[in-house]
Amino acid sequence: MILAALVLLAVGAILVLGVGVRAINSRIGVVSVNPVPFRIHYSWVIVGVLAVVQIFGSSIFFVAGVMVAPLSDENGGFGWNVGIIGAGIACYYLFSAIYAPISGNLGDRYGARRMMLAGIVMYGVGMVALGFVTQIWQFFLFYSMFMSATASITMVPLMASITGWFRRRLGIGIGILWAVGGIGTAILAPLIADMFDVVGWRNTFIFLGIAGSGIMLLLWPFIRSKPADIGIEPYGTLDTDPKTAPMSPSVMKLRLKVFNQHMRGTHAFWDLPLIHGLGCAGHGIVLIFVVPMAVERGIDLTTAAYILSILSLVSILSRLGAPILAEIHGPKKLMLASLLIQGITVPILFVANDPWVFYVFAVVFGFGFGGEWTSYLEINRRYFGDGPMGGAYGWQMTGAMVGHAVTTALAGLVLLATGGSYNTVFALSAAFSLTGVVVITLLDSTDHILIPNWEESLPPEARSSQYIPPAAEDASGPEPGTATGPAVAGGED
């Protein structure tokens, strides 16, 4: 029955996209060249495949919350100390922070198709290996080290690759991607918890490894690294837009190197990982400690658990809406609003004693949580144009994982030092989020690309056919939507 649910989830994601995208194509006023059969552009197939991959890739992350209980159960097969388990989870975050930029750069170099295949194999091997863990060092090896690499490979380069499939309406693609993934993880988390009770630790992870890698392997033939691989243009490309010319692997490698050098020379490249880290530190504290806080204040565990359920369900709405609104009104505004919501709603917890107060908090905070981390692909395009984004997104995920790791360690120390004061811990959460708001206000405007002339550093034969020399651009002005930068629908941010 569980396998059927997973298969239906995978197939359903593709079918929903297939039915819905025809309506999107006809309503948004953009006609893409070279659509695939049934009038559905292949970009939407990529969105559907990556949504399913995200479900399983993110399961590596959220399974931490449901496996603490069986690992710490003294009457079970492990009986490990909760502090040791927490250290293993913190190491998972730290290794993820190390792996993220590496996997992002590998994705830019070798493409999403190869990275997905590697991730599928690693997912199956790693999940099955977790089922046979009996010693704490094995947990650190397979979960903290190996599965963090698997999550980085299945999440960072594949999610970053979606930007290359859209010339316009990227926000809709990202919104659907994150929303479907959020629905999937909301379904999969309780399934895993139930399986621990019904079939035990070993059988749960063996099943997850075989079923997850099997479903992703069935979808792998549909994945492509970029539109040119199947001879089409990105979604939203008009007949008047310049077309992408094929380039040799050596030229692509040189362009990637120079592009990354120019990106790393901007303040935004380094500010965005900091912002993501602050945002994740802010909501990470809530995700870990809001349920224990509610239980301490006399609410039973089952009732308290609904806080996270409500928060997660509400976040699906902002996962879908935030990228779309970011494309229309500007990503800086959405990122600022999301972190501001995270920061100013936390004080509700200082006076919360009844379940309904916690639930009100979950609803409001959920909007900020879902919007915090879904606008980065859009702001990357605004700042850096249409180049490969795996490296930039990888560093932003490094910031996110460092934020989670710092949260796990620092909050534990604060609880120890204050004798278990949750109010102090949540004050840290608000401080992290509001500090992120300040950093966002210092970001460059998104009404222009920060590295418009990066191709000047390339030899003439390595420049794209769309490249406009500075002198010519000064004379005629850049054309919105060309390769010098995507059209900025929201104006200055």
Looking at residue 21, what is its pLDDT? 46
Indicate if the pLDDT at residue 386 is higher than 60. yes
Question: Which residues, 6+ apart, have CB-to-CB distance to 337 below 8 Å?
Answer: 368, 371
Greatest CA span in the chain, whole angstroms? 76
Question: Which residue, among 429, 424, 322, 422, has the nearest Cα to 368 in the 3D structure?
Answer: 322
Helix axes 82-110, 112-131, angle to 10 degrees: 160
* DSSP conformational letter for 144: I
- Higher pLDDT residue, 137 or 19? 137
Indicate if the pLDDT at residue 168 is higher than 50. yes
Whether residues 193 and 268 share a domain: the answer is no
Whether residues 156 and 286 share a domain: the answer is no
Q: Give backbone dihedrals phi and psi of 166, rounded to 5 degrees, phi first.
A: -130, 120
In this prediction, what percent of the chain has a pLDDT beyond 70? Answer: 82
- The answer to whether the beta carbons of residues 295 and 301 sit under 8 Å apart is yes
Cβ of 170: how many Cβ atoms within 10 Å?
25
- Looking at residues 440-462, what average pLDDT do you find? 90
DSSP strand E in 309-380: where? none
End-to-end CA distance of the chain: 48
Kindly state whether residue 476 falls inside one of the protein's structural domains.
Answer: no
* DSSP conformational letter for 226: S
Residue 312: which pLDDT band, with cuts at 50, 70 and 90? Answer: confident
Residue 32: which pLDDT band, with cuts at 50, 70 and 90? Answer: very low
- Looking at residues 2-20, what average pLDDT do you find? 49
Looking at residue 127, what is its pLDDT? 92
Q: Which tokens is 228 given?
A: 């040119």
Looking at residue 186, what is its pLDDT? 67
Whether residues 273 and 194 share a domain: the answer is no
Query: Cα separation of 160 and 149, whole Å?
Result: 16
Question: Which residue, among 414, 317, 294, has the nearest Cα to 365 in the 3D structure?
Answer: 317
Q: What is the CA radius of gyration of the chain?
A: 22
- CA triplet 295, 298, 302: central angle to 5 degrees? 50
In this prediction, what percent of the chain has a pLDDT beyond 90? Answer: 33
Kindly state whether residue 281 falls inside one of the protein's structural domains.
Answer: yes
Whether residues 48 and 94 share a domain: the answer is yes
Query: Cα separation of 242 and 483, whole Å?
Result: 8
Kindly state whether residue 465 falls inside one of the protein's structural domains.
Answer: no
Kindly state whether residue 133 falls inside one of the protein's structural domains.
Answer: yes
The residue out of 167, 201, 233 marking a domain boundary is 233
Give the range of the structural domain holding residue 80, as residue numbers without chain letter: 1-233
Indicate if the pLDDT at residue 490 is higher than 70. no
The one-letter amino acid code at 141 reads: L
E strand or H helix at 482, and its extent? none
Residue 319: which pLDDT band, with cuts at 50, 70 and 90? Answer: confident
Query: Cα separation of 80 and 71, whole Å?
Result: 6
Residue 361: which pLDDT band, with cuts at 50, 70 and 90? Answer: very high
Looking at residue 482, what is its pLDDT? 39
- Among 192-206, 234-248, 308-322, the minimum mean pLDDT is found in 234-248
Q: For residue 168, what is the domain's CATH number?
A: 1.20.1250.20
Indicate if the pLDDT at residue 29 is higher than 60. no
Query: Cα separation of 273 and 292, whole Å?
Result: 29
Query: Cα separation of 358 and 304, whole Å?
Result: 8
- Looking at residues 124-149, what average pLDDT do you find? 93
Kindly state whether residue 485 falls inside one of the protein's structural domains.
Answer: no
Looking at residue 471, what is its pLDDT? 53
Residue 65: which pLDDT band, with cuts at 50, 70 and 90? Answer: low
The residue out of 169, 198, 233 marking a domain boundary is 233
Query: Cα separation of 470 and 452, whole Å?
Result: 9
- Looking at residues 218-222, what average pLDDT do you find? 93
Looking at residue 205, what is its pLDDT? 92
Whether residues 57 and 132 share a domain: the answer is yes
Indicate if the pLDDT at residue 28 is higher than 60. no
Q: Please, which residues bridge with residue 36 across strands?
A: 40
Whether residues 70 and 134 share a domain: the answer is yes
The one-letter amino acid code at 483 reads: A
Question: Which residue, among 70, 381, 471, 7, has the nearest Cα to 218 in the 3D structure?
Answer: 7
Looking at residue 488, what is its pLDDT? 38
- Higher pLDDT residue, 66 or 72? 72
Indicate if the pLDDT at residue 334 is higher than 60. yes
| Overall number of domains in the chain | 2
The residue out of 204, 233, 262 marking a domain boundary is 233
Whether residues 182 and 304 share a domain: the answer is no
Residue 411: which pLDDT band, with cuts at 50, 70 and 90? Answer: confident
Whether residues 360 and 420 share a domain: the answer is yes
Looking at residue 247, what is its pLDDT? 74
Q: Across the chain, what does the average pLDDT equal?
A: 82
Whether residues 435 and 319 share a domain: the answer is yes
Residue 170: which pLDDT band, with cuts at 50, 70 and 90? Answer: confident
Whether residues 77 and 154 share a domain: the answer is yes
- Looking at residues 168-194, what average pLDDT do you find? 77
What would the pLDDT profile of 229-268 be if each residue is shown by its tens digit?
888 888 888 777 776 667 778 888 888 889 999 999 999 9
- Among 271-280, 402-411, 424-433, the minimum mean pLDDT is found in 402-411
Q: Which tokens is 134 given?
A: 């009996």
Kindly state whether residue 471 falls inside one of the protein's structural domains.
Answer: no
- Higher pLDDT residue, 359 or 476? 359
- CA triplet 389, 392, 396: central angle to 5 degrees? 130
Decide: pTM greater than 0.85.
no
Residue 354: which pLDDT band, with cuts at 50, 70 and 90? Answer: very high
Whether residues 221 and 257 share a domain: the answer is no
* DSSP conformational letter for 141: I
- Looking at residues 21-45, what average pLDDT do you find? 57
Looking at residue 427, what is its pLDDT? 94
Query: Cα separation of 480 and 488, whole Å?
Result: 8
Indicate if the pLDDT at residue 450 is higher than 90. yes
What would the pLDDT profile of 281-299 be if each residue is shown by its tens digit?
999 888 878 888 888 888 8
Whether residues 10 and 132 share a domain: the answer is yes
Kindly state whether residue 244 falls inside one of the protein's structural domains.
Answer: no
Label residue 267 exposed, middle or buried (CB < 10 Å: 0-12, 13-18, 19+): exposed
Question: Which residue, among 323, 59, 383, 325, has the nearest Cα to 195 in the 3D structure?
Answer: 59
- Higher pLDDT residue, 27 or 45? 45
Looking at residue 164, what is its pLDDT? 86
Handedness of CA 487, 490, 492, 493 (dihedral sign): negative
Indicate if the pLDDT at residue 478 is higher than 50. no
- Looking at residues 91-96, what average pLDDT do you find? 89
Query: Cα separation of 5 and 371, whole Å?
Result: 28
- CA-to-CA dists, residue 372 to 231, 298, 318, angstroms: 35, 31, 9
Q: Which of 8-22, 114-128, 415-429 has the highest mean pLDDT?
A: 114-128
The dihedral over CA atoms of 95, 100, 101, 103, expressed in degrees to the nearest 10, equals: 110
Kindly state whether residue 470 falls inside one of the protein's structural domains.
Answer: no
Looking at residue 487, what is its pLDDT? 38
